[in-house]
Amino acid sequence: MKSSIREALWFHGLFFVIGLPLVLFLQGPALGRALLGLAIAYNVALPLLSLVRGHGEWLKLWLFLLPLSCGQVIPDWALADIAGVLVFPDHGIWRVGGAVPVYFMGLWIMLLFPIVLLCDRLRSRYLAAALLSLLLFGFWEWAARPLGLWYARDVRMVAGTALYPLVPEMLLGLATLSAYRNSRGRAIIQQWFSAFGVNLFYTGAVFIGLLLSQRLF
């Protein structure tokens, strides 16, 4: 295993160990401040560590994924405000469009970064990205409600987990990996347009997933 991958796993593992107790034991505004702090800390520490350790690929990937992560408030906003199937508890933090807590702009990257970094180096990269995305996003869809992060309503569920976003989130991992690989090395504005394209793709995919889950199950 290359040192950059090993260090990335250590970094994300350490961040998980630090963040999980905060999410488990804090509530209300304290939880909101903690989540905002974690989102900021992650997106400051990751590029700094990439510079200190000389992992240029980390920095390039972070520059691609940060605007993509910010853009993920678009589908969440639509699901919460238009479809009414997604609820974010009030943790006293400013909300984008009055619906999505602002810290979510910096949270999606925490899953997408390891997915893309790890799978980009594999021969069966897209199969690996699909499986890893389903595993990671599926876990957080299951854990989100008991942790008070978000919850679904008026949709098909299994074991407290909404069905409709699982396949779209798997496709999100695939689309993110593909967009990064195809735009890598191009001008940063072209990369950001590619990232925004992933946001639009996921928005459509998650609404199709919502429609099909309600009609087929």
Tens-level pLDDT at each residue, the chain (217 residues) = 578 899 999 999 999 999 999 999 999 999 999 999 999 999 999 999 999 999 999 999 999 999 999 999 999 999 999 999 999 999 999 999 999 999 999 999 999 999 999 999 999 999 999 999 999 999 999 999 999 999 999 999 999 899 999 999 999 999 999 999 999 999 999 999 999 999 999 999 999 999 999 887 6
Can you state the angle between helices 56-71 and 188-216, rounded to 10 degrees?
A: 50
Residue type, 110: M
pLDDT confidence of residue 174: 98
Are 140 and 78 contacting, i.e. CB atoms less than 8 angstroms apart?
A: no
Domains of the chain, by residue range, sit at 3-216
Find all residues with CB under 8 Å of 40, minimum gap 6, and list them: 106
pLDDT confidence of residue 3: 80
Residue 19: name the closest of 112, 129, 140, 138 by CA: 140
Are 65 and 106 contacting, i.e. CB atoms less than 8 angstroms apart?
A: no
Torsion sign over Cα 151, 132, 19, 205? negative
Rounded to whole angstroms, the Cα distance separating 9 from 117 reads 10
Q: Determine the 3-state secondary structure of 99 from DSSP.
A: coil
State phi, psi for 95 to the nearest 5 degrees: -115, 140
pTM, rounded to two decimals = 0.95
pLDDT confidence of residue 214: 83
State phi, psi for 99 to the nearest 5 degrees: -125, -45
pLDDT confidence of residue 82: 96
Q: Determine the 3-state secondary structure of 155 from DSSP.
A: coil
Tokens 């069966």: give the residue: 124
